[in-house]
Structure 1
Amino acid sequence: MAAILLKASKRGTLRRIPTGLSPTGVKGPKNPKVNKVCFSQAPDLNGAALQLVETHIDWASQLGAHPVQIRGKKRLPDSHSSKFPEFLAPPKDGYVHVFTPVEKVDCSPEECAPAMRQVIRNVLERRKEGALLFRGLPLATAEDFSRALVNLGLKLTNYEGGIGVRQRLAEAVDTASDDPPEFCIEPHNEMAYTPHFPEKVMFFCLDPPSPGAGGETVIADVREILPRLDKDVVDKFEKLGVMYWHHLPSHTPGAYLSWQKSLQTEDRAAVEKHMRANNTSWKWEDDNLSWWITLPSMLTYRGEKLWFCAIHGNNASYFKAHPLWFDKDIPDHHFPFTTYYGDGTDIEAEVLQHIRDVHWQVSMGFQLQKGDFLVLNNMYCQHARLGFTGKRKLAIALAMQDQDYPEDY
């Protein structure tokens, strides 16, 4: 593809409308014990109190019962690298933080929300942690998930402009991914290829995978990525930025995601308004849409520079392992999406491999249980999915940053 030249958009420190919340920045203990005295309680709608306690989970033993080999794994892009970990690592102690009810509870999703919100504020916002799991709450369906979500006081948003294949399940809730089950989704920050990415990503387990059947939910601490990347690679992307290219036909049957589905409209004028509002370039070819944007590879969040981009997971090489695309002989810019350096030149295969190696070196994973409610800070924690057999279904919801942080001034 010929070089595509356009002026890079500016994206750096996040700014949002203040809400009056004032994070303390207090760091919590890293190694919680079983039933540690760390309660969060809030009155439910009937005046009772739901109590949540931080609980230790022996992730290593659970994963050890069914070790997951990822080096050389089929349908995992570029996994034959000698620098890939041989096996998926379990979560570290204190990452993920797990909160469970003190006793068996029988309350509505709305009644669960106040105590959950207190935990989210304490763990993700005040203590600057990346991942939080609620387990054992009386939530079972997508509607339960939605009813709890809309009462958490978060700034929920939709998936407009997203490139994943998803279906709406309930208010503010979609399927997490409708990709073929055998495919492995790489570690990524949600919607990092747009300037309107969410701050929080929430998953809910509707149908868990069977033990040993795969489908592990993978997380990666973003703060461990930048120090491991080659300095020359980082410097080049910091200088040029990343160009994200998307090719979206109109209601085309087959594996493509249409622009109508991605942008949630049938109106071309609405598409163009969205593109202008997000400093995005686009072109129409008949009724087919291509759009592209150049964004920084890093951003500053809460006073810290983070590697925040989708260089590998949005590159056309992603499709070389995808069961719907691996045998397609088409140019890179005719795949649903790909990436370039910010000046429009190709990213070298060895650079993509290095970035993938580092991401999997810091990745951890586990199988969710039915009713698990996982909350991630999208700035600090990436997520992924390993392929599976049998059943597995997750729901997802997104929330924008709804406060300013003092350390960003």
Structure 2
Amino acid sequence: MSSDKNMAIKISKLTKRYSLYDKPQDRFKEALNPFKKSYHHDFYAMKNVTIDIYKGETIGIIGKNGAGKSTLLKMITGVLTPSLGSIQVNGRIASLLELGAGFNPEMTGLENIYLNGTLMGFTDEEMHSKIDAILEFADIGEFIHQPVKMYSSGMFARLAFSVSINVEPDILIIDEALSVGDMAFQMKCFKKFQEFQEQGRTILFVTHALDTVIRYCNRGIVIDAGEKICDSSSKEAVDVFKKLLTGNFYPDKDQNENQESAKYPSGQLFKNSFPSNSEMLEYGNKKALIYDYGILDKSAMPMTLFDHNSICDIVVKIRFNDKIIAPIVAYSIKDSKGLEITGTNTLMKSIETGSYTEGEEVEIRFKQELNLRPGAYALSLGCVTINQNGVEVYNRLYDCILFEIIGGAEMVGFFDLGSEVTVER
């Protein structure tokens, strides 16, 4: 254990190396080769990582898929053995690494509670005293007496999390398992997190919900390609991760300065900077074509991750294939459930868009304050006109850009109306 009594976990120069073989027989050839010839190449899932985690901290670990986050947690909990380095843990760990891990699918939920307790070092008598609290939190009713192979992913998460928090851990480690639960259950879990924080317990979890990191964590760690690239406040860690996602993260200061002063390359289409959405729907007679589009941050760079209340430009570039008079350019935003929650167009804003002949182009920009509730959204665009036959659609792109709002703002509904509250006595 660490000599520092306030230390919960001490990680020193941690490395996890895997030997990868191009063909299965290469492993056999390497084992029998009299000259110790190597047939493999090394892959480092974790490389020389050092982290000190103190009692009472709530730490969010973020990174792209395959960055090494889960590998780190598995080594902390003893599921994986480090190739190099050391891990010292001070306290009892309860972990929820993978959905259903430690559960026997043929046994009932109740039997699995006792099984998990045994794995954690509790006697049946000790687990019996915790059963009522576990069942109350899990709230899965009569399914507790059914084999867990019948459970939905949400029921698995409920039971596994309930067991983890009710064995009185000093350190709680969670890897994305809560993402499968419904909203009410997630709120219940985060309320329990707050209770743990007040009790001075350590929480360590991996998540892709960046607003959760900002809201609940007092520290954030960013992992990329097996290396720790940021260990700072939760807000700064999220900012670093945003740069990482968009290819704008440079550890070197001079490179950062150059990046910040850089402009988006002229002549390059904005839309090519955004991940393609296979569910995008396009239709229209193409008399006017939306040939480029994007959401730009305050630095005029394409972005899919925005802080709550930040300013952005929604850019729509149109090429005309016919004579068009006063086209109406519009955008709308849907939430993750497909509900259209806001939008506007040039007609609503009383903007004269002009007249165009074949071959001409125009760029329309909507400057917006993103006061939406943190979450995932989809942007749709359109170019239409209204004539005696009704609405004539030149070009519509549904769900052409998927983006996310992050931040610690809490509100009811979809928008923050910017309320200012005063109290007078």
Q: TM-score range by the shorter chain?
A: under 0.3
* TM-score under structure 2 length normalisation: 0.22
- Higher relative contact order (Cα pairs below 8 Å, separated by 6+ residues): 1
User: Highest CA radius of gyration, 1 or 2?
Assistant: 2
* TM-score under structure 1 length normalisation: 0.23
More helix by share: 2
